[in-house]
Structure 1
């Protein structure tokens, strides 16, 4: 276990006061390595809260650059960073917030060619991209490597979150929940989204990450949490492993 310094005991005091966390849990966070795929609207609150909580190593994956249209919701970026890589902008934000967090940046999309290298030695993957291809790919890698996966999505005034525990046998995967060919192709760029919606969903994703890393509470394994912000309606749906899911039965990439 990592021995916390006096500065760390002070910085993370409000975490440590929680009996579910304590010094041991905080040391676990400091020793954890999380990959964040997508450094946009959902990735912004995920990165903020994981860096603030003291997750020791964050690997950021995104091939996009900061644009003015991002600034309405992607709150780790600002006007001065328009035109630079989102992962570089996010790295600068993390250094200002919590300099002791190690940051690895990958200014590229997750692919079948680079996924194994990017996810090497990662304890958990959290994804908030706005395309299903990257989600299916992350799902496949996480299943093969037995890495937990947290997935969130938001569009318009609604959002959803679910988590996947690939260390357990017969656990459902992302493709069990969303079979290929049944996914929608909507994106924030085409349909719009309110900033606080991605902020709320991203915060829940960050909470799921911390719960899974610390083995506390009841993560959303086999459960889909949905939110309609217009009427403040939260619902949870249970789901299981699909009998003929190709991802669960096929061999590696």
Structure 2
């Protein structure tokens, strides 16, 4: 609507649109704040919430992120931080997939887990959290376990998939589905003081190389434990990989396994 565009342009200050103006215009014209964000970005106007992004991401980059659709499989230790960071940086559509609900043992490390959320579906809590921190982001919550059977349907429309899972079998199934859909997959795993990340592009089969034919219900986190700090670190590396892939910036961790040892403060890169 030309009236919306004119209203957005009238409110610009230093090339930016404030959240209060974004909200006021949306209410005035009975449209979503996501619509106002799209109008602003398409006209080279930066929503002010992203102003600390602009020394590394220009308005065109921000529009590309807003126009992107990312699927996050697993909304626990890794997935919660991944969802939080993708929403805050301005990725416009998130599909979040997890069959589980929050339990007391999640409270030590999962950012979406609180005593009040115990017993609630993880994806529903994720959707509520995103609505609180960035209402311009669309969230599609899916209370299902991804498998070879339903994976293609669950990941439909996504441009990049992020692995927030905690078992090898499902990760290998996710890898297979991503391969069939020709989707990049950003894999992360944690255990105790350690974690690793790699980005698998179509045709790479990096997870097959990494895990081979190991068929175990859980990874080594079952024996090494899950502290509060490892998930946030590894999730942040995964989010950086997603942004690099979406914007074609830098060099993703393709054919490389980036391992972090927080106990001895070492980073190791291994070819895959």
TM-score w.r.t. the length of structure 1 is 0.87
Please point out which of 148, 168, 184 is paired with 1:112. 148
Task: Structure 2 unaligned segments of length 5 or more: list them.
Answer: 1-37
8 A contact 1:4–1:27 mirrored in 2: no
8 A contact 2:71–2:161 mirrored in 1: yes
Query: For residues 27 and 174 of structure 1, what CA distance do their matches in structure 2 show?
Result: 31
Please point out which of 49, 53, 57 is paired with 1:15. 53
Q: Give the SS at the match of 1:42.
A: helix
Residue 227 of structure 1: aligned partner: 260
Residue 96 of structure 2: aligned partner: 60
Query: For residues 189 and 177 of structure 1, what CA distance do their matches in structure 2 show?
Result: 18
- The structure that is helix-richer by fraction is 2
Residue 90 of structure 1: aligned partner: 126
Please point out which of 133, 144, 149 is paired with 2:185. 149
Q: Deviations over 1:37-89 (max 9, x none)?
A: 01011111111110001100000011110111101100122111100100111
1:49-198 paired onto structure 2 within 5 Å: 49-166=85-202, 171-181=204-214, 185-186=218-219, 188-198=221-231
Look at both structures and tell me which one has the larger radius of gyration over its CA atoms: 2
Query: For residues 223 and 110 of structure 2, what CA distance do their matches in structure 1 show?
Result: 16
RMSD: 1.8
Query: For residues 66 and 226 of structure 1, what CA distance do their matches in structure 2 show?
Result: 28
Stretches of 4+ moved more than 2 A in 1? 2-9, 170-173, 181-191
Kindly tell me the number of residue pairs found equivalent between the two proteins.
Answer: 233
